[in-house]
Amino acid sequence: MRSLRRARDLLVSNYGRADGWYVELDDQRVAELTRVNLEDMFWDTYEVSANTYDDAPQIRDDALWAAARFCFRNRRTGELVATAFCGGTAPFVRNGRVRIRGLHLRANTVAERVCLRVLQFLLPRHTRR
């Protein structure tokens, strides 16, 4: 039952994208990503906002984005994604948005993957965010 519930949550939240993300640098939360937009086949853009005035320079630091120094924690589940990376060219944060690839949650077990396949056929598209 847990696998089915998690698979449903993944599907409904667009694999965590709709939940938003906390941006972490060296285990410290420095920003949030919200309002996801699909930009291209594998790329999403997010509105980025620094947690504090002191965190703002880190979020605008193109070297940190280019080196993929940030980790992303799902705001609803708390799961960490450390493999996502930004795209395009500097400046990476433009008009308050950043372009990112690979920022999504994955099924953790075979049972979750099977449940996802079944639910993709059963859940109407309009119930997904």
Q: What is the pTM of this model?
A: 0.90
Determine the pLDDT at residue 41: 87
Question: 78 in the Ramachandran plot: left (φ > 0), alpha (ψ -120 to 50) or beta?
Answer: left
Within the chain, strands assigned E span: 21-25, 28-38, 43-50, 71-74, 80-81, 85-86, 93-94, 97-101
One pLDDT digit (tens) per residue for the chain, 129 residues = 899 999 999 999 999 999 999 999 999 999 999 999 999 889 999 999 999 999 999 999 999 999 999 999 999 999 999 999 999 899 999 999 999 999 999 999 999 999 999 998 887 765 555
Contact 66, 92 (CB under 8 A): yes
Determine the pLDDT at residue 16: 97
